[in-house]
Structure 1
Amino acid sequence: MKKLLLAASFSLGVSAVAQEAKTDAPVADTVKAWSIQGQNTLMLNQAAFSNWVGGGANNVGWLAGVNYNMTYEKGKDLWENIVILGYGQNNTKGTGTRKTQDVINLSTNYGREFAQHWYLSGGASLQTQFAAGYEDGNNPDARKISNFMAPGYVNVGVGVTYRPNDNFTMTLRPANARITFVSDKDLQYAGSYGLKKDGDTSLFQFGFLGTAMYKVKLMENINLTNTGSVFSNYLDHPDRLVLAYGAVLNMKINKYISSNITLDLMYDHNQIQKTQLKQTLGVGFGYNFDNGRKRSDKKDNQSWMK
């Protein structure tokens, strides 16, 4: 009997030690470094008239776009990638089809933290459009003023990035190369987008680039995203700043229906010596997703990267 009790006590002791060892074992880090946030939209509008004394023309239009933010954040490393694409058209009876939205905006920026929220960074970006634009409201019979990669702006530079949270990012690049491409032969003449002589396909500039993004939650399901940039060319007329500001007001009605209001302001001496303005309003299908959380915020596991 004593032997049986001794054996049982020994077994319980071994089990307890094993359980304690298992409890003290380091917990595997399951938090992923990648996160992705995105918005897909499809806006539709339509109007029809029949014997309407107030007048009007039948029309139908659409606007589609995507806005993705893919971020890698681990330790001192921060790598943010942004993809913004948008295109829209409107067809009006008696006028034909006109472009209402056309944007390609791609950017990447990598940083290595050297102080809290501050990163030594380097990155590149591309801004252009999908299709040709015309002087008279995108009338194809009018004079062409733009096209795909005409202009196309490529920025490559190094500097510092300040990012205290997910809602604010500022990047300052005192060393930034800005190349303007004009791939359309009809637009390759002196003065077009700053080209020096007829037949030139690009313009090289080197200077300072500053960019910033600030997101504000105005109320439940209503968010405002502000972006801004400034560029100064060290090589020629540094006082002629290239300024840009954009605002997107997103009002989410439910999971699949949303409304967007956008505002874009821009001044570029090489394009036109006037302030440019573009505004759009649309209601339609929108789907937002947030697959994954950032390690720095100690949020949930990013199962989509498993």
Structure 2
Amino acid sequence: MKHLLLIGVIITSAAGLHAQDKTIQNLQTEGSKNIKKDAADTAKKTWKTGGLFSINASQASLSNWSAGGDDFSMALTAYLNGYAFYKHGKHYWDNTLDINFGYVNTTSLGARKNDDRVDYLTKYGYELNSKLSLATLFNFRTQMLRGYTYDKDVKTFASTFLAPAYVTLSLGIDYRPVKNLSIFVSPVSSRWIIVKDDSLSARGIYGVDTGKHSINEMGAYVTVNYSAKLNDIVTYKGRLDLFSNYKHNPQNVDLYMTNLFAVKLSRVLSATWSLDLIYDDDTKLFGPDKNSAGLQMKSVIGAGLLVKF
């Protein structure tokens, strides 16, 4: 009988130890499992933000230089681009802000700006399919400081903040055939040209009647936006705006185009080339009689600091 009791105790103890081993093994297995993320943790971000800042500077001094030239010259150009893109389901909202400024100072010419632009573009869209959307667009464009035209030794006041300024409101179709390319087409757009300064308004320039501070135009509007990394060191950002005024000479299409190429030289250094083209049928400041429209072109090449954020 004693032997039977002893055998029973041994079997019971072994079974208990086996159960404990099983419990420990189960705890180890559960502890080694990866915790599965909740669906909210893996959801795509609704906002994408960032930008680009570039500043280029150059300075030269001459003393007893037989080949001639200005005794002193300095040039500074700066560019800031910021963006905020929202995407949720079929809804998206794109925002971009571009600020350009250029300054040059020489002994013979004095100080003057050679670039000045503030350009804000916002667009809300609702996707009909993967490439086509219904969208509404708002664009505001002006400059920050007073600008002048120079004819020989004559300096003429030509622009300042809100003089001129261009405000465009459009409703249309947004077509995105490939990544980073957007083609917005609107058959019905409203554009306001603002000349806030009294002295510029009195001259009746930029298409605004003499003494008036603004004019409204109805027309067709197209804007094409494209940005891409062309290779490991070269990036490109461009925009083309076309506007036809239904009320006045619709065949004379206004053009506004910006191009920026950035070549990465090192982690923070780069070379940049910006090329801007503008044709506005209402800006009649050119030609022999200074009363004609013309293609405006601005090209700026520089090397300096480039920071992406």
- Smaller-chain TM-score bracket: 0.7 to 0.9
Query: Could you tell me which of 232, 257, 260 is aligned with 2:272?
Result: 260
CA contact (8 A) 1:189 1:195 kept: no
Match of 2:55 in 1: 42
1:70 CA displacement: 1.4
Cα distance in 2 for partners of 1:38, 1:138 equals 39
Alignment CA distance shift 1:27-1:128 (3 Å): closer
SS at 1:193's partner residue?
Answer: coil
Greater CA deviation, 233-242 or 273-282? 233-242
Q: Deviations over 1:155-201 (max 9, x none)?
A: 111111122444211111222110000001011136411123x3211
- The 1:123/1:47 distance shift into structure 2, 3 A limit, reads same
Deviations 1:5-44 (A, max 9, x none): 5676578679979998965975732531111231111110
Q: Measure the CA separation in 1 of the matches of 2:91 and 2:194.
A: 32
- The match for 1:297 is none
The residue that corresponds to 2:223 in the other structure is 211
Identity rate, percent: 27
Larger radius of gyration: 2
SS at match of 1:35: strand
Partner of 1:55: 68
For 2:290, the equivalent position in structure 1 comes to none
Secondary structure in 1 matching 2:294: strand
Which has the bigger relative contact order, CA under 8 A and spacing at least 6?
1
User: 2:301 is aligned with what amino acid?
Assistant: L
> Structure 1 CA distance, aligned partners of 2:37 and 2:58?
62
Contact 1:206 1:235 in 2 (8 A): yes
Amino acid at match of 1:119: S
Q: Paired residue for 1:84?
A: 98
Matched, 1:279 2:303: no
Once the two structures are TM-superposed, the CA of residue 62 in structure 1 deviates from its matched residue by: 1.0
Q: 1:12 to 1:225 in 2, by over 3 A?
A: same
Closer/same/farther in 2, CA of residues 137 and 116 from structure 1, 3 Å limit: farther
TM-score under structure 2 length normalisation: 0.84
In structure 1, C-alpha distance between the alignment counterparts of 2:181 and 2:187, rounded to whole Å: 20
The CA distance in 2 between the partners of 1:73 and 1:137, in whole Å, is 50
Match of 1:171 among 179, 184, 191: 184
Q: Which runs of 5+ in 2 are unaligned?
A: 1-11, 285-292
Partners of 1:178 and 1:49 in 2: how far apart? 49
SS at match of 1:53: coil
Match of 1:303?
A: none
Q: Against the structure 1 CA distance between its residues 90 and 138, is the aligned structure 2 distance closer, same or farther, given a 3 Å change threshold?
A: farther
- Compute the RMSD of aligned alpha carbons: 2.6
Question: Could you list the runs of 5+ residues in structure 1 that have no partner in the other structure?
Answer: 290-306
Match of 2:46 among 33, 47, 50: 33
SS at match of 1:136: strand
CA distance in 2, matches of 1:225, 1:24: 38
**In the comparison of the two structures, how many residue pairs are matched?**
287
1:227 aligns to 2:251 (yes or no): no
| Per-residue deviation, residues 177-233 of structure 1 (Å, max 9, x unmatched) | 10000001011136411123x321101011111000223433321122221110011
| Alignment check: 8 A CA contact 2:52 2:80 kept | yes
CA distance change for structure 1 residues 172 and 14 in 2, over 3 Å: closer, same or farther?
Answer: same
In structure 2, what residue type is equivalent to 1:200?
A: K
Alignment equivalent of 1:244, drawn from 256, 265, 269: 256
2:176 partner SS: strand
Partner of 1:69: 83
Secondary structure at 1:70 match in 2: strand
Task: Identify which of 102, 126, 136 aligns with 2:116.
Answer: 102
What whole-Å deviation, never above 9, does each CA across 1:76-117 have from its counterpart, x for those lacking one?
A: 121110010011211101321011110100110011101112
TM-score (structure 1 length as normaliser) = 0.85
Change (3 A) 1:26 1:195: closer
